[in-house]
Structures are given as structure tokens and as C-alpha cells.
Amino acid sequence: MSEAGRPRVVVLTGAGVSAESGLPTFRDDDGIWRRFDPRQVATADAMRRNRAQALAFFDEIRRASWAAEPNAAHRAIAELERRFDVDVVTQNIDELHERAGSSRVLHLHGRLHWARGSGPQPAFVRIDDRPIAPDERCAHGTLLRPDVVLFGEDVPLIDQAAGLMRAADRVLVVGTSLSVWPAAGLVLQARRAQQRVLVALDVDDEPPGYDFRRGRAGEVVPQIVAQWLG
């Protein structure tokens, strides 16, 4: 329970929650994934050695994310705040949870609509949907880069997310294949939760103790939320 006496809910989301908003997961083989392999352009090494192409990849997904609208799953998750103390922990770099009305959103893998310098104490810049120029620098003089966690980089918010999972009374996991670590390990932290539900089209391994509801997030999540709101 939270200090206000409301049950604590953590909603852990991945790319699948935004798929019905028109933002493809990395596993789908349509759209920009034919021209870019995310694992080639979204690595720390690519950002240093292959900067123009890495920036072009993020410019393109930033434009798509800006144009997308929250779907029924994002909206239902925001509705949970009527009864519960809710934290959304998302692997997504889009802002669709915030735009649907969720008030506490922890972006484990960063934020697409922000940029930051590459130094140890970077300045942050709100960029909305605009591109980052290859020679653009932050106020501290280091090269600007997307404020996202690239493959091979640390996930600085992982301990904070694990603490939220450990304190949760209920957990709803949506649209993640549970194949990206360390985020995937978070599901195992929810030991005291009385209810644990996982919604996805498919997962690599079903985590123990979860009720797996196979289906589209936009259909299944509103049903679960309606049940939980009673």
C-alpha cells in the first residue's frame, strides 16, 4: 500500500504496447527495419564511428513517434490512477504513456524527444521531433546525441525500477518479449505482488507466477483494467 492507503500498481511495458499506435517493434520486418538494423545503428560504438547513420535512424523513429497517438492500452493504463498508486516502467522511448495521461513514467531506456551531450555531466535539450545535426553540441561543448540507452550501455534507472517492482501489490506487464536485459529480469522482482499479469502476442519464456494473457494490448489491457477498477 502507498502512504495514501492505495494499492501500488506497477505497469511494465515494451514495444508491443505502442505497436497498435503504428510504431513497429524491432522484431517486425516492415518499415524502417528493412533499411536499418537497430543493433547496428543503436549501439554506443555506432554513435561514435557511424554517427551520421546512427543519427538518421533516431531522426526517423523520432518523427514516427511524434506523429503517433496513444492507443486504447495506453489510455486504459492511465485510467488505473483512479483507484491505484501507479508507476509505469517503460522500455519505450516514445511519450505515448504521458500523452495518454499517466503521471509517473520511468523511461528505462531513455527518451527519444530529448537529446544530451556525450560527456560525463551532459546538458539536456528538448528536441521534440527535430533532427540532431552531426556537428551539433550541447551547452557544455560535447557532441549532442539522443537521450536513449544504446545497446551495450548501462541502464542507470534499473535499481529504481527494481525497487518499484519489489514494492508492488499488483503488476501488469504489457508488450515485451522479455528478451532484453536487464529489463527482462524485473518481472522476477515482483515477489510480494498478489496479482501478476502478462499481456503479449508472444514471449520467449513465460515467467513463473504470471497469468499470461495472449492477445493484442489494445483489446486485452482495457479488459484487465476494467476488472481491476471493479
Site for ligand NAD, rule CB under 6 A: 14-16, 18-20, 23, 25-27, 91-94, 109, 175-177, 179-180, 199-203, 216-217
Active site annotation includes 109:
yes
Distance (Å) of CA 66 to CA 84, 121, 171, 190, 223: 29, 27, 28, 32, 27
The residue among 169 and 174 lying less far from ligand NAD, judged by its C-beta, is: 174
Distance (Å) of CA 178 to CA 3, 85, 96, 188, 208: 31, 24, 20, 11, 12
**Nearest Cα residue to 66 out of 30, 114, 103:** 114
> Least distance in Å: CB of 8 to ligand NAD?
23
> Least distance in Å: CB of 3 to ligand NAD?
31
> Least distance in Å: CB of 9 to ligand NAD?
18
> Least distance in Å: CB of 17 to ligand NAD?
7
The residue among 6 and 216 lying less far from ligand NAD, judged by its C-beta, is: 216
User: Which one is catalytic: 74, 97, 109, 140?
Assistant: 109
> Least distance in Å: CB of 195 to ligand NAD?
19
Q: Burial letters for 85-94: b for 16+ Cβ neighbours within 10 Å, e otherwise?
A: bbbbbbbbbb
The residue among 18 and 102 lying less far from ligand NAD, judged by its C-beta, is: 18
The residue among 55 and 85 lying less far from ligand NAD, judged by its C-beta, is: 55
Q: At what angle do helices 72-79 and 217-229 cross, to 10 degrees?
A: 20
Looking at beta carbons, which residue is closest to ligand NAD? 16
The residue among 9 and 174 lying less far from ligand NAD, judged by its C-beta, is: 174
The catalytic residue positions are 109
